[in-house]
């Protein structure tokens, strides 16, 4: 952002000098080229330098916690209920 602002400030100065400095001569063309070319260069420099401090995207799979270890029936308590047949015989 600072580089872009600096280059655009130089562009404004070039534009003002192009109009204000008289008599017109070869330097007027130099100021005109600066006023025309600097916006393009400012955008290119700003876009190229903007990605240097950013981190690359990390796959979210790497940041997920590990799944808990599968449990086996011997590791847990198992409650078993056995019901007895309490009906009287109908014979």
Residue 54 and residue 20: Cα distance in Å, rounded? 42
Q: Quote the pLDDT of residue 86.
A: 73
- CB-based contact 34:10 (threshold 8 Å): yes
What's the whole-number mean pLDDT along residues 26-48?
Answer: 89
pLDDT at 29 over 80: yes
pLDDT tens, 55-77? 777 666 666 677 777 766 665 67
Ordered by start, the domain boundaries in the chain are 2-48
Q: How much is the average pLDDT of 6-25?
A: 90
The proportion of the chain whose per-residue pLDDT surpasses 90, expressed as a percent, equals: 21
pLDDT at position 78? 73
Residue 59, helix vs strand vs coil: coil
CB contact at 8 A, 17 and 31: yes
Residues sharing a CB contact under 8 Å with residue 34, sequence separation 6 or more, in sequence order: 10, 11, 14
């Amino acid at each position: 952002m600072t580089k872009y602002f600096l280059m655009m400030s130089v562009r404004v100065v070039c534009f003002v000098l192009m109009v204000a400095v008289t008599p017109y001569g070869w330097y007027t063309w130099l100021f005109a080229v600066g006023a025309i070319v600097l916006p393009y260069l400012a955008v290119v420099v700003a876009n190229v330098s903007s990605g240097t401090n950013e981190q690359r995207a990390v796959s979210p799979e790497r940041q997920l916690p590990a799944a808990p270890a599968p449990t086996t029936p011997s590791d847990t308590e198992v409650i078993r209920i056995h019901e007895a047949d309490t009906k009287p015989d109908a014979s």
